[in-house]
Structure 1
Amino acid sequence: MWLGIVIGNVWCTKKVSALTGQTFLLVAPEGHQGPALVCADQAGAGPGDRVLVTRGSGARVAAGESIPVDAAVVGIVDRVEQ
């Protein structure tokens, strides 16, 4: 898992039926360079939120076993202590 910042929404008017009802967000990784990812939102996040993202099989579990996603927002972060 990694931390990211929601930088936008992604809208899809045409998609496979398994994605119906999913909300998609564009999330930039926090603290390092890298491309932003399109993530299925499972936590109700929005632009500007700091979020917890999981990828791969963890994302599929979070979204539902028949949902074809590779990245999912699974939490909205309140704070991080180091």
Structure 2
Amino acid sequence: MPRRKLAGIFIGVIIPFISIIGIVPFIAKLDFSVLGIPILYFWVFMWFPLTTLCLCISWHIYDRHQYKNEKMG
């Protein structure tokens, strides 16, 4: 697999996956809140927009050029 494609997969999939699945067990043990929300809920819901951002960054950096070429013919 090309290095460029691996970097796109890393940014778009691996980072969000590790941030949610890998860190949640450690955060679940903490007993404090952020803005009045338990840290576990805050962390998981914070990653909804951050995952979208990671996918957007991955697409803009690594895949956007493919769609520009398709539109031009």
TM-score bracket, shorter-length normalisation: under 0.3
Instruction: Give TM-score scaled by structure 1 length.
Output: 0.24
Give 1 or 2: higher strand fraction: 1
Give 1 or 2: higher helix fraction: 2
Q: Which has the higher contact order (CA 8 A, sep 6+)?
A: 2
Larger Rg: 2
Instruction: Give TM-score scaled by structure 2 length.
Output: 0.26
